[in-house]
Amino acid sequence: MQEYGFELALAAHLETERAGIVSRQLGTAVFGRRIMDIVCVTPGPEFADRVQLTGQTIPSAAIESDIGPGRFRFIQDGFDVAPDHARAIVERAAACGFFETQRRRGRTYVRQTTRYPDWFDQLVGIENKPDLSRPGDLETQLLSDVALSLLDTVILATESYVTRAHENRIPDEVGIWRFDPETGERVVIREPTQLPTREGGVDILERSSARTAVRMVSPTEKVQARRRIAERAYGKGWRTYEFPGCSQLDPGNDGLPKTQREAALPYCQWHDRIVHPTSECGPACPGYRSAAPPDIDCESIRESKTAWVNEPAGCQRTQSGLDQFFD
């Protein structure tokens, strides 16, 4: 199976197997460029409070600002950024219900609607490499994950048979799963080691045979980066695709494992596999048969299968005063 289909099949499997949040394609570096295929966020003590706050990603700049849940503060006193940037942050945070605003004598004042909860515990990164005979930059990627230790654990998921030679090329701290997307069976070959997330880390910016460029990351920077990853995962989820208008599409195909049928994956009968709708579907495909897109609501499916709520009762989509940012 292609890597995209493997990734979606594994995400569907993890959604039924684990509590918390499953998301895909998230940046997991502080200064460098590292995209993790799948990130699982395990619930913390106040996960229920986060669920009731908003189904969207809360802007990191709003969480890290000096705006609290107490008294209203003048917008410029809460942010160390340009006024236009501060107003944009407040507008996004107010739209998702995390901030509320007031207008006083021509000036905007703002406060949090509630204290930001301690809602997540572990961040688990999963790098997908179905075919280990074509590893690409796998070794560098996993070495970077371990050196930075931004995620609590890192796991390599593959469909290949894992040999001793494969294991020796993978950092000892990285766990290994063998996953069969055709059956949904997952076998743990090696458990991952807990990484030192509370300590400083090393962000590998570039690695070659001649040189390695790095940047040191402080514990405080890691705390902020971890929260950004968790928030992005919460708002994004993993069903980031849209279903194409083609009669060959059959998300509920009986040939799929039960977890994949119920997850509503973009399975194509003509290709006989999960397809990437953006790059593979359309008139250029020989098997394309124009039809109305299937009536599938990915957010509703996510709500039915997880604790995530798209529009919780406490979420305020619009705030009084939002239309008064500019006189």
> Whose CA is closest to 239, among 52, 15, 68, 67?
15
Tell me, what's the pLDDT at 207?
A: 79
> Whose CA is closest to 190, among 170, 173, 175, 203?
175
Tell me, what's the pLDDT at 86?
A: 92
Task: Convert the pLDDT of each residue in 20-58 to its tens digit.
Answer: 999 999 999 999 999 999 999 999 999 999 999 999 999
219 secondary structure, DSSP code: H
Task: Convert the pLDDT of each residue in 294-327 to its tens digit.
Answer: 899 999 999 999 999 999 986 554 434 444 443 3
Percent of the chain with pLDDT over 90: 80
Q: Is the pLDDT of residue 208 over 80?
A: no
Confidence of residue 135 (pLDDT cuts 50, 70, 90): confident
Q: How far is CA 190 from the centre of its chain?
A: 24
Tell me, what's the pLDDT at 318?
A: 40
Give, for 190, the enclosing helix (H) or strand (E). strand 185-190
CB 187 within 8 A of CB 166: no
In order of their start, the domains of the chain are 3-47+118-236 (3.40.1350), 59-112 (1.10.10)
Rg of the chain (C-alpha set):
22
Give, for 16, the enclosing helix (H) or strand (E). helix 3-17
Task: Convert the pLDDT of each residue in 165-203 to its tens digit.
Answer: 999 999 999 999 999 999 999 999 999 999 999 999 999
Give residues with Cβ within 8 angstroms of 121, minimum separation 6: 42, 43, 44
Tell me, what's the pLDDT at 317?
A: 44
Q: What share of the chain is helix, strand, coil (3-state, %, to 5)?
A: 30, 25, 45
Tell me, what's the pLDDT at 322?
A: 43
> Whose CA is closest to 229, among 95, 57, 86, 89?
57
DSSP per residue over 80-103, as a string?
SS-HHHHHHHHHHHHHTTSEEEEE
